[in-house]
Amino acid sequence: MTKKSQGANEDQVKEPKRKIVPLKSQKEAKEVKSSKKEEDLLLDSGTDSDYDGCSLSGSLNSDDFDSEDDFDSHRETQDDSGHEGSDEVIDSENGEEEDGSDDEGSEQREVAEESDSSEDEVAPRNTVGDVPLEWYKDEKHIGYDITGKKITKKEKQDKLDSFLATMDDSKNWRKVYDEYNDEEVELTKEESKLIRRMLKGEAPHADFDPYAPYVDWFKWDDAIHPLSSAPEPKRRFIPSKWEAKKVVKLVRAIRKGLIKFDKPEEEPNVYLLWGDDSASDQKSKHLTYIPPPKLKLPGHEESYNPSLEYIPSEEEKASYELMYEEDRPKFIPKRFTSLRSIPAYENALKESFDRCLDLYLCPRVRKKRINIDPESLKPKLPSRKDLRPYPNSCYLEYKGHTGPVTSISTECSGQWIASGSTDGSVRIWEVETGRCLKVWQFDEAVKCVAWNPLPDFPILAVAMGVDLFFLNTELGTDEEQQRIEELLRLDNLPELDEAAAAIAKWLPDEKYRGIKIRHFKNLSYIDWHPRGDYLSAVMPGGETRGVVIHQLSAHSTKRLPIKMRGLPVCTLFHPNHRGLFIIATKKYVRVYNLHKNGEPIKKLETGLREISSMAIHPGGDNLVVGSKEGKMCWFDMDLSSKPYKILKNHPKDITNVGFHRSYPLFASCSEDSTAYVFHGKVYSDLNENPLIVPLEILRGHSSKGGVLDCKFHPRQPWLFTAGGDSVIKLYCH
Amino acid sequence: MNGEGEDASKVIHVKFLTKLDSPFKVPVTSVVIPSSVTRLGLSSIVNSLLTLEKPEAFDFLIDGELIRMSLEQFLLAKGISAERTLEIEYIRAVAPRKEEKPSLHDDWVSAVDGSSPRFVLTGCYDGLGRIWSSPGSCTHILEGHTGAISSIAFANSEGAEGVTVATASKDRTLRLFKVDTAESGDSTTRVGAYKILRGHKASVASVAAQKYGSKVCSGSWDCTINVWDSNESTSELSVPGKKRKGNNQAEEPQLEGEAETTLVGHTQCVSSVVWPEHDVIYSCSWDHSVRRWDVETGKDSLNLYSGKALNTVDVGGEGSALVAAGGSDPILRVWDPRKPGTSAPVFQFASHSSWISACKWHKSSWFHLLSASYDGKIMLWDLRTAWPLSIIETHKDKVLCADWWKGDSVVSGGADSNLRISSGISIS
């Protein structure tokens, strides 16, 4: 079987569906025997169009155009007979009620009803059968029940009574008199619905779907044989004669000019009144076309008859008069009874003139507005709760000084702290209880105290004025005390070279049995080397000789082999790399290698106005610099010479910054009487930047003197702050 | 009373029960009271029932819990029906009824021990230990230390003719004193140490003695706990005290002892030790942990982590197993080490406002403990309620040490250089 014939077969199968209506109407037409020509024509055209479709599907042979009338009619009859049955099936499916099928349906329904209602009905059923009921018209019974007994007629009600009863009963319309059984039947809702549906011509059952999707029972994938073995009609292969005639007609009409294709385009008689004037053509002319600002659309208040709430009262109108002219509302709503009574708008000319001025005199600028949620700009920081412990509350105070406490220093075990004050006293406190253990009284204000970092060498270095004192705290064991006493005895001073001698002189201190080093300028800062033997001293007034290093074991002083630039502020020994020495001047921080004769290694550009303090992370790669303008810079020295982060927290000078030895904490204290605690974690992974999270603002010192120094407890996450109110506070976690 | 009950929105039928003896016993009859009364109201009701000549404060328990709010709220919180007759047990309120005369010291009182009913021991920042037989009467002064005494304890308080006292000091030594209690004079006698225990490399922070033995243990700032022998006879050498420089007080030969065992494990200052059982030592440290040590093996068998530096630890309570510790925050924590799987504290008392310097369990009660704090307050606690039973505010400065004495008194010393005794605390 060729493809073509297959296609034809498919057509055949589909055909009946399409043909039904015309065929049936043909039948009906015959039955009714209405021989009107128009109808005939209609029918003809109907069949014709049908044929057209067929011929289109198989119009390959155009040769046999006009020789197939007989064949056609013959085929037609064949088709009719062949598809009679299928017609009916489809009819019933479609719900088009023809006579026969309707009868069948109603019968079926009765049967169904009987089977449904037989169980509940108790009344004796008449068994007379299908006989004319008028036979029993005059009898007293209507028939016989199943046992053969007579079923007597019910007594007839008076017509009036029954009429009244029907009028009273709201359900009367549902009641039907059953003559056969002599009883009144009340139709149920379902039954009445059923009837209603039947009256409408729908399928009686509600669940019956007349438009169910078509299931093609006659086609399946593996079908080998065609349903009909009839040969393909010839008309399928030849072009339609009627079509050709129609085409010729149309062609003639076109040639004569009766049919025109291009209709004149109609102008749209409505347009968008308030739409954008700047059409696309204007936009395309300029590269940066800015449309003029739109006028405000009129609202309800500009109606000729606005609602009462828009109308200003007399008082309001009077208050408008008092206002400046610019502030006065431009339009005062008024009410008019009709559109006719509206006067001309007095400002119309002026306003349109103003508008024109606006349009061509005001340059238009495109404003860029960025809508960003400010929250999204914040960096994602971990919660403070996860970063515990950190100091947050003050439980202990160390009171005893009479002047502002300028400097504090913690002993490396964390048992004691030392403090120096402007009242000239240096005190040692017990951290645990807040008891003052020892007091040294001097004549000058103490500038800086520093506890020796070695645990078995409890010596305190104190700087004041031009003097630097080494004090024996007498806190070590007996052997340690012996060593310290030997060390602090100035028996054989080595000969200092002249330059160094000009800077500092080593003298014994009689009063407290320590050592006094007298410098040529005032000291501002001292710092111990982590090994506890060297001590750097800073003299801001010393210019190029501003930083010296003392060696305690040799009782000697050395000048730095460095050419100083700028005034030194503070110094640091690198915690890990022994030879590295960090000097902060007012603007820059420089790193030198003392082992290599003071070779400069790095210069950090802080960008600050005046550096006040500096602290180094115990890891050695990160540096925090505090400034007198309240800014704090975190430098990652491996990363760059520019600050990694600048923290602007304090409104006043930062007095000191500090790192915790073991916890990832750092703090800054300021003259605004607060200390800030930060989480500053440095990762061993070099790719990861340090994490800095502000944790806590420690308040508590009185506002007059600020916080002058802060130091972390060496082992606990606690912070000591020294205040200008002469109190030292301990903040615990 | 009935009239009052009518006024209130709700009334409750209650029955007052007690284990107290006759003067404090009320007839066991049901009483109708308004449900809005608090502890004070209940106490006044019981007082009016008792008709005592001197009013007495009572505390009330319902199903073993102390009432610290109005009765209505309490019933609501505990889900107890107000319909049935409520049985309320009352006890005499745990609060000091008498304040003894303060005993003035020359310096801060840093240590106190009240484990012997006969004496109170105090250690002072002037380096002297003192023995007080009664408030205000110091019988002995223990001298010899060159630094402040940080802790003091009875090493043997049972002896008929004398007691042994151990002191720990910030001069890195411990000293043992024998005190003859038989001699009784008006004047105070000064006693020197019969034995000096050297070995700690830093200040000794705490000392505790074995209960029925001759050993003493001490915790120090050098992160170790040393166990010493306090016996006189077993001391190996007697050296005249000339080793220390600038200390020429070696009139009598003194024994010097060395540590028998050193318990190493803490990483920071061991701030407090207690020795509750024969070979078990509890210690707390600034490294945030409480440890239990087995003296025989020298190993720690328990390690409780608190998160804060700890100043004081004590063991007591139910079965002498609960561990109470306080430190660098205002919270007193109680652990139950018998509880498996958890190291979280079972009780937390947070009414102080500063560091806790001392906590002690009552010797005979399972529920009562005291805590002293730098905020100048001593608080008495009952495990059955989260509020302090009573707050003793006699000190004007930090309270550095506190202990129970004779079962019904609290002795405490502080930075106001006074030893204060609050007595008349009735603990049933």
Instruction: Please report which confidence band the pLDDT of residue A241 belongs to, taking 50, 70 and 90 as the band edges.
Output: very high
Q: What is the pLDDT, as a whole number, of residue B93?
A: 80
Least confident interval from A325-329, A676-680, B326-330: A325-329
Tokens of A483: 């060593």
Q: How far is B88 from chain A (nearest CA, A)?
A: 40
CB contacts < 8 Å between A and B, how many? 54
With an 8 Å Cβ cutoff, is A436 touching chain B? no
- pLDDT of residue A120 exceeding 80: no
- pLDDT of residue A50 exceeding 70: no
Strand-pairing partners, residue A185, are A176
Residue of B nearest to A482 (CA): B245
Test mutation, B126, B247, B269, chain A, max A CBs within 10 A: B269
Provide the 3-class DSSP secondary structure of residue B243: coil
Q: What is the pLDDT, as a whole number, of residue A271?
A: 74
Instruction: Please report which confidence band the pLDDT of residue A678 belongs to, taking 50, 70 and 90 as the band edges.
Output: very high
Q: What is the pLDDT, as a whole number, of residue A81?
A: 42
With an 8 Å Cβ cutoff, is B269 touching chain A? yes
Which is more confident, A52 or A257?
A257
The residues in B 323-382 lying below 8 A from A, measured between CB atoms, are: 328-330, 354-355, 374
Tokens of A102: 């309707």
Instruction: Please report which confidence band the pLDDT of residue B9 belongs to, taking 50, 70 and 90 as the band edges.
Output: low
Q: What is the pLDDT, as a whole number, of residue A177?
A: 83
Instruction: Please report which confidence band the pLDDT of residue A284 belongs to, taking 50, 70 and 90 as the band edges.
Output: low
Q: What is the pLDDT, as a whole number, of residue A94?
A: 43
The stretch A36-61 carries a mean pLDDT of: 41
Nearest in space to A165 (alpha carbons), one of A153, A177, A181: A177
Instruction: Please report which confidence band the pLDDT of residue A565 belongs to, taking 50, 70 and 90 as the band edges.
Output: confident
Separation between Cα atoms, residue A79 and residue A47, nearest integer Å: 13
To which residue do tokens 């070696």 refer? B250
Provide the 3-class DSSP secondary structure of residue A604: strand
Measure CA B62 to chain center: 27
The phi, psi pair for A94, rounded to 5°, reads -70, -10
Residue of A nearest to B416 (CA): A435
Q: How far is A408 from chain B (nearest CA, A)?
A: 21
Which is more confident, A115 or B66?
B66
- pLDDT of residue A278 exceeding 80: no
- What percent of chain A clears pLDDT 90, i.e. is strictly above it? 15
- pLDDT of residue B38 exceeding 90: no
Per-residue pLDDT tens for A250-271? 999 999 989 888 887 877 778 7
Nearest in space to B334 (alpha carbons), one of B364, B352, B360, B354: B360
Q: What is the pLDDT, as a whole number, of residue A285?
A: 64
- pLDDT of residue A106 exceeding 60: no
For residue A716, give the nearest of B172, B203, B309 by CB distance: B309
Separation between Cα atoms, residue B360 and residue A660, nearest integer Å: 34
With an 8 Å Cβ cutoff, is A733 touching chain B? yes
The answer to whether residues A472 and A486 touch, using CB atoms and an 8 Å cutoff, is no
For residue A435, give the nearest of B108, B244, B268 by CB distance: B108
Cβ contacts of residue A366 below 8 Å, gap of 6+?
A: A288, A290
Burial grade of A50 (CB within 10 A; 0-12, 13-18, 19 or more): middle
Using left for φ > 0, alpha for ψ between -120 and 50, and beta otherwise, residue A700 falls in left
With an 8 Å Cβ cutoff, is A392 touching chain B? no
Residue type at position A78? Q
The residues in A 203-242 lying below 8 A from B, measured between CB atoms, are: none
Instruction: Please report which confidence band the pLDDT of residue A731 belongs to, taking 50, 70 and 90 as the band edges.
Output: very high
Q: What is the pLDDT, as a whole number, of residue A299?
A: 87
DSSP label at A266?
P
- pLDDT of residue B346 exceeding 60: yes
Least confident interval from A26-30, A393-397, B279-283, B400-404: A26-30
Kindly report the average pLDDT of chain B as a whole number: 82
Length in residues, chain A: 733
Per-residue pLDDT tens for A123-153? 557 888 888 888 888 888 888 888 888 888 8
| Partners of residue B330 in chain A, C-beta under 8 Å | 395
DSSP label at A17?
H
Residue type at position A227? L
Cβ contacts of residue B60 below 8 Å, gap of 6+?
A: B39, B42, B43, B66, B67, B88, B89, B90, B91
Q: What is the pLDDT, as a whole number, of residue B18?
A: 82
Tokens of A411: 């002993």
Provide the 3-class DSSP secondary structure of residue A364: coil
- pLDDT of residue A661 exceeding 80: yes
User: In b/e form, how buried is each residue of A373-402, taking b as 16+ CB within 10 angstroms?
Assistant: eeeeeeeeeeeeeebeebbbebbbebebbe
Q: How far is A600 from chain B (nearest CA, A)?
A: 40
Kindly report the average pLDDT of chain A as a whole number: 78
Per-residue pLDDT tens for A216-238? 887 777 777 777 778 888 988 99
State whether the Cα torsion A188-A189-A195-A198 is positive or negative.
Answer: negative
Calculate the CA dihedral of residues A646, A648, A649, A653 and round it to 10 degrees. Answer: 100
Q: How far is B176 from chain A (nearest CA, A)?
A: 20
- pLDDT of residue A497 exceeding 90: no
Pairing of strands B137-143, B189-192: parallel
Residue of A nearest to B310 (CA): A432
CA angle, residues B333, B338, B341, in degrees to nearest 5: 90
CA angle, residues A289, A292, A293, in degrees to nearest 5: 135
Measure CA A303 to chain center: 43
Q: How far is B157 from chain A (nearest CA, A)?
A: 29
Using left for φ > 0, alpha for ψ between -120 and 50, and beta otherwise, residue A714 falls in alpha
The answer to whether residues B227 and B214 touch, using CB atoms and an 8 Å cutoff, is no
Q: What is the pLDDT, as a whole number, of residue B366?
A: 85
Cβ contacts of residue B56 below 8 Å, gap of 6+?
A: B24, B47, B50, B92, B93
Separation between Cα atoms, residue A617 and residue A696, nearest integer Å: 19
With an 8 Å Cβ cutoff, is A432 touching chain B? yes
The stretch B152-172 carries a mean pLDDT of: 81
Instruction: Please report which confidence band the pLDDT of residue A244 belongs to, taking 50, 70 and 90 as the band edges.
Output: very high
Determine, for residues A732 and B245 on separate chains, whether the beta-carbon distance falls below 8 Å.
no
Tokens of A544: 């190029």
Per-residue pLDDT tens for A578-610? 888 999 988 889 998 888 888 888 898 888 889
With an 8 Å Cβ cutoff, is A505 touching chain B? no
User: In b/e form, how buried is each residue of A199-238, taking b as 16+ CB within 10 angstroms?
Assistant: eeeebbeeeeeeeeeeeeeeeeeeeeeeeeeeeebebbbb
The residues in B 221-240 lying below 8 A from A, measured between CB atoms, are: 221
Instruction: Please report which confidence band the pLDDT of residue A712 belongs to, taking 50, 70 and 90 as the band edges.
Output: very high
The answer to whether residues A51 and A18 touch, using CB atoms and an 8 Å cutoff, is no
Q: How far is B355 from chain A (nearest CA, A)?
A: 7
Separation between Cα atoms, residue B112 and residue B395, nearest integer Å: 15
Separation between Cα atoms, residue A558 and residue A535, nearest integer Å: 10
Per-residue pLDDT tens for A501-535? 778 888 888 788 888 888 888 889 999 998 888 99
H or E element: which one contains B121?
Answer: strand B120-124
Per-residue pLDDT tens for B69-79? 888 888 888 88
State whether the Cα torsion A85-A87-A93-A95 is positive or negative.
Answer: negative
User: In b/e form, how buried is each residue of A116-133, taking b as 16+ CB within 10 angstroms?
Assistant: eeeeeeeebebeeeeeee
| Partners of residue B109 in chain A, C-beta under 8 Å | none
Per-residue pLDDT tens for B360-382? 998 888 888 999 999 899 998 88
Determine, for residues B308 and A477 on separate chains, whether the beta-carbon distance falls below 8 Å.
no
- pLDDT of residue A1 exceeding 60: no
Q: What is the pLDDT, as a whole number, of residue B252?
A: 52
| Partners of residue B269 in chain A, C-beta under 8 Å | 413-415
Least confident interval from A500-504, B183-187, B387-391: B183-187
Q: What is the pLDDT, as a whole number, of residue A449?
A: 92
DSSP label at A341?
G
The answer to whether residues A468 and A523 touch, using CB atoms and an 8 Å cutoff, is yes
Determine, for residues A414 and B268 on separate chains, whether the beta-carbon distance falls below 8 Å.
yes
Determine, for residues A396 and B355 on separate chains, whether the beta-carbon distance falls below 8 Å.
yes
Nearest in space to B157 (alpha carbons), one of B111, B121, B130: B121
Q: What is the pLDDT, as a whole number, of residue A495?
A: 67
For residue B125, give the nearest of A396, A434, A435 by CB distance: A435
Nearest in space to A142 (alpha carbons), one of A176, A178, A181: A181
Nearest in space to A390 (alpha carbons), one of B126, B307, B230: B307
Instruction: Please report which confidence band the pLDDT of residue A280 belongs to, taking 50, 70 and 90 as the band edges.
Output: low
Residue of B nearest to A394 (CA): B354
Cβ contacts of residue B205 below 8 Å, gap of 6+?
A: B150, B151, B168, B219, B220, B221, B269, B270, B271, B272
Separation between Cα atoms, residue A566 and residue A571, nearest integer Å: 13
Instruction: Please report which confidence band the pLDDT of residue A22 belongs to, taking 50, 70 and 90 as the band edges.
Output: very low
Separation between Cα atoms, residue A665 and residue A677, nearest integer Å: 7
Nearest in space to B19 (alpha carbons), one of B427, B365, B318: B427
Test mutation, A388, A412, A433, A713, chain B, max B CBs within 10 A: A433
- What percent of chain A clears pLDDT 70, i.e. is strictly above it? 80
Residue A335's CB is within 10 A of a number of other CB atoms, namely 13
Calculate the CA dihedral of residues A290, A295, A296, A302 and round it to 10 degrees. Answer: -170
Q: What is the pLDDT, as a whole number, of residue A626?
A: 92
Q: What is the pLDDT, as a whole number, of residue A545?
A: 81
- pLDDT of residue A36 exceeding 70: no
With an 8 Å Cβ cutoff, is B203 touching chain A? yes
Separation between Cα atoms, residue B193 and residue A350, nearest integer Å: 112
The residues in B 307-326 lying below 8 A from A, measured between CB atoms, are: 307-309, 311
Q: What is the 3-state secondary structure (H, E, C) of B140-183?
A: EEEECCCCCEEEEEEEECCCCCEEEEEEEECCCEEEEEEEECCC
> What ipTM was reported for this prediction?
0.84
DSSP letters for A25-72: HHHHHHHHT---HHHHHHHHHHHHHHHHHHHHHTTT--SSSSS-HHHH
With an 8 Å Cβ cutoff, is B384 touching chain A? no
- What percent of chain B clears pLDDT 70, i.e. is strictly above it? 90
Angle between helices A3-32 and A37-57 (to 10 degrees): 170
Per-residue pLDDT tens for A422-470? 999 999 998 888 888 889 998 889 999 999 988 888 889 999 888 888 8
